[in-house]
Amino acid sequence: MAVFNHLPMGQEGLKEIYRWLDDFASKNNAISYKKVLGKSPDNWDIPAVFVTNRDIPDDDKQIAVVTLARHGQELGARVVGPEILHYLTSDDAKAIRDTQLVIVVPVVNPEGFILNEFHSSQTSLTKTERLVLGRLFKAYAPDMVIDFHSLGKVEGSKYDRGDLEAIIPANTTRWAMDEQIHYYVAQRMQEAAENAGWPYEIHTLEDLAAYKFAGREIGNMPYTYLQEKLYLLHMMDSHDNYDIPEEAAYTNYTCGPAYEKWHTLVFGMETNHWGITEPGDIAVSGMVPCSALLKMGTTRFAWEKDRGYPVNILHGDFRISLRPLGKNAAERRASRTRIWGERMYFNLPQREMPDPETTITRVRYFGADLPMEFALCLRMRKSRIKSLTLGSKEVEFETFKDRCSTFVYIPLVMDRAGTIELMIKHPPG
Ligand SMILES: [Zn+2]
């Protein structure tokens, strides 16, 4: 049984969901609390429910944000939020509560909800979203954001109507392997959904463009496809901090600008309220990939030093990268945000092997945010490092492993712009 086995509609439906949220927060007050983030233009509250283990300091936790129902007529998104909240109280979610602060915003757009109309934007955040989410993210810069939508009989896709459910890792880039990382995570979400009986697709920005803008005539697609991809990429505004007043950014999903701003892991989701006829099934089919994602946030990804969402390769690739510093999640988040904002002022970090027992590595920073603090991280074939030196000086480092290699993590401080060159001595491969 799902939490909601019907689709709440109109004012009464909104009130019903809001009553449920109040009830949830009071019943589960050891692990949750409700905050009103702001008001819709017609003066409805926009509440969020925070779920976490309140005995563990928030600074030790990742911040995960789930937003739903920004598009008023996408009915499926109405029932997924309560289902996720319900899941978060379960034993299965204990590790999530211990290591994350999960913030669920079940109805981003109450006005659209009541009207049962889109009442939103496909190309930018609305003024209300900027106010409400801007305020939230200012206090809680997210490590992960997932934004739920829902496809119906004709809404959304122009070429595949009525039955599609999709995970959209669209608002990312190819910088620092991010596209690969988002797809890796999306595939694991898809797998979890399929194991539970829900056939999801993973769709790209290009696929998404075809849903929204492409022509329906047979034979029309390829050209429109390309044209719209270019349009969308040009519309992505890397300066959108959830605070620019109007327009100009491509953002079908509320999570879009978070990637650019905080290097957040971001997913759009499309559940389905036509092909799936039972509202309880819609709720569960939305909850399952979300819970898989939240669970991944409690684990350590093979290439990451610490457990949490895989958002810490800020430049370079898996073999050589720039990483944040910090002894807890909050410090790493602040360091990540700072380095990410300066990423254009680093050269691509380099490595070379003059002989099989020596690796030389270089990083250049030419920005003005000094002293610049970051870690340089190299993936090595052998686990033993004989020495790591800068000129004649030994340099401190840490190591962590994946299944078949060792990562050397080297904290560095640059007091002025320039190049750091380090020499690593190791056994031959
Ligand atoms: Zn939508």
Read off the pLDDT of residues 216-227 as tens digits, 9 standing for 90 and up.
Answer: 665 545 455 555
pLDDT for 244 beyond 50: yes
124 confidence band (pLDDT: 50, 70, 90)? confident
**171 Cα to the center of ligand 1, angstroms:** 14
Token pair in block for residue 199: 């056939």
Q: What is the pLDDT of residue 304?
A: 98
pLDDT for 196 beyond 70: yes
* Residues 388, 397 contacting (CB under 8 angstroms): yes
**147 Cα to the center of ligand 1, angstroms:** 9
For residue 175, give the H/E element and its range.
none
Residue matched to tokens 């800020």: 314
Q: What is the pLDDT of residue 10?
A: 98
Tell me the C-alpha distance between 227 and 304, whole Å: 37
**71 Cα to the center of ligand 1, angstroms:** 5
5 confidence band (pLDDT: 50, 70, 90)? very high
**10 Cα to the center of ligand 1, angstroms:** 18
83 burial class (0-12, 13-18, 19+ CB within 10 angstroms)? buried
**14 Cα to the center of ligand 1, angstroms:** 18
**359 Cα to the center of ligand 1, angstroms:** 49
Listed residue (243, 242, 151, 249) closest to 201, CA to CA: 151
Token pair in block for residue 13: 């439906």
Higher pLDDT, 240 or 383: 383
Q: Calculate the alpha carbon distances from 409 to 187, 353, 395 in Å.
A: 28, 18, 11
**70 Cα to the center of ligand 1, angstroms:** 7
**163 Cα to the center of ligand 1, angstroms:** 15
Mean pLDDT score across all residues of the chain: 91
Question: Which residues neighbour 374 within 8 Å (Cβ) at sequence distance 6 or greater?
Answer: 314, 322, 323, 324, 325, 335, 339, 411, 412
Q: What is the pLDDT of residue 245?
A: 43
Q: What is the mean pLDDT of residues 321-335?
A: 98
**What is the DSSP secondary structure assignment for residue 8, as one 8-state letter?**
-
Model confidence pLDDT, tens digit, residues 372-428:
999 999 999 989 999 999 999 999 999 999 999 999 999 999 999 999 999 999 999
**271 Cα to the center of ligand 1, angstroms:** 10
Higher pLDDT, 131 or 279: 279
**72 Cα to the center of ligand 1, angstroms:** 8
Q: Calculate the alpha carbon distances from 195 to 87, 189, 192, 198, 285 in Å.
A: 17, 10, 5, 7, 11
Q: What is the pLDDT of residue 243?
A: 58
Token pair in block for residue 32: 């949750």
246 confidence band (pLDDT: 50, 70, 90)? very low
Q: What is the pLDDT of residue 248?
A: 42
Tell me the C-alpha distance between 296 and 305, whole Å: 15
Q: What is the pLDDT of residue 241?
A: 60
Q: Which of 43-52, 220-229, 250-259, 371-380 has the lowest mean pLDDT?
A: 220-229
Q: What is the pLDDT of residue 1?
A: 87
**125 Cα to the center of ligand 1, angstroms:** 12
Residue matched to tokens 């109109």: 10
pLDDT for 130 beyond 50: yes
Q: What is the pLDDT of residue 238?
A: 54
Tell me the C-alpha distance between 216 and 134, whole Å: 36
* Residues 351, 324 contacting (CB under 8 angstroms): no
Tell me the C-alpha distance between 101 and 106, whole Å: 16
**298 Cα to the center of ligand 1, angstroms:** 28
317 burial class (0-12, 13-18, 19+ CB within 10 angstroms)? middle
**74 Cα to the center of ligand 1, angstroms:** 6
**337 Cα to the center of ligand 1, angstroms:** 28
122 confidence band (pLDDT: 50, 70, 90)? confident
373 burial class (0-12, 13-18, 19+ CB within 10 angstroms)? middle
156 confidence band (pLDDT: 50, 70, 90)? low
If DSSP codes are grouped into helix, strand and coil, which group holds residue 381?
Answer: coil
**79 Cα to the center of ligand 1, angstroms:** 15
Range list of β-strands (E), 134-263: 144-151, 166-168, 201-202
Residue matched to tokens 């990562």: 407
Q: What is the pLDDT of residue 211?
A: 61
Q: What is the pLDDT of residue 355?
A: 97
Phi, psi of 372 (to 5 degrees): -90, 125
pLDDT for 174 beyond 60: yes
Buried b vs exposed e over 160-170: b needs ≥16 C-beta within 10 Å? ebeebbbbbbb
Tell me the C-alpha distance between 167 and 150, whole Å: 11
418 burial class (0-12, 13-18, 19+ CB within 10 angstroms)? exposed
pLDDT for 247 beyond 50: no
Alpha helices in 268-377 (DSSP H): 279-296, 329-341
**115 Cα to the center of ligand 1, angstroms:** 15
pLDDT for 277 beyond 80: yes
Residue 47 CB neighbour total at 10 angstroms: 20
For residue 325, give the H/E element and its range.
none
If DSSP codes are grouped into helix, strand and coil, which group holds residue 13?
Answer: helix
Q: Give the amino acid at 373.
A: E
DSSP string, 232-271: HHHH--TT--S--SSS-S--SSTTHHHHHHH--EEEEEEE
pLDDT for 287 beyond 60: yes
Q: Which of 43-52, 200-209, 334-343, 350-359 has the lowest mean pLDDT?
A: 200-209
**75 Cα to the center of ligand 1, angstroms:** 10
Going by DSSP bridges, is the β-strand pair 45-51/100-105 parallel, antiparallel, or unpaired?
A: antiparallel
Radius of gyration of the chain (CA): 23
Q: What is the pLDDT of residue 218?
A: 54
Q: What is this structure's pTM? A: 0.93
Q: What is the mean pLDDT of residues 168-190?
A: 93
What proportion of the chain, given as a percentage, has pLDDT over 90? 80
**118 Cα to the center of ligand 1, angstroms:** 8
pLDDT for 233 beyond 60: no
Tell me the C-alpha distance between 293 and 309, whole Å: 9
pLDDT for 194 beyond 70: yes
**178 Cα to the center of ligand 1, angstroms:** 24
Give, as residue ranges, everything with CB less than 5 Å from ion ligand 1. 71, 74, 149
* Residues 7, 13 contacting (CB under 8 angstroms): yes
**395 Cα to the center of ligand 1, angstroms:** 51
**88 Cα to the center of ligand 1, angstroms:** 24
Model confidence pLDDT, tens digit, residues 85-113:
999 999 999 999 999 999 999 999 999 99
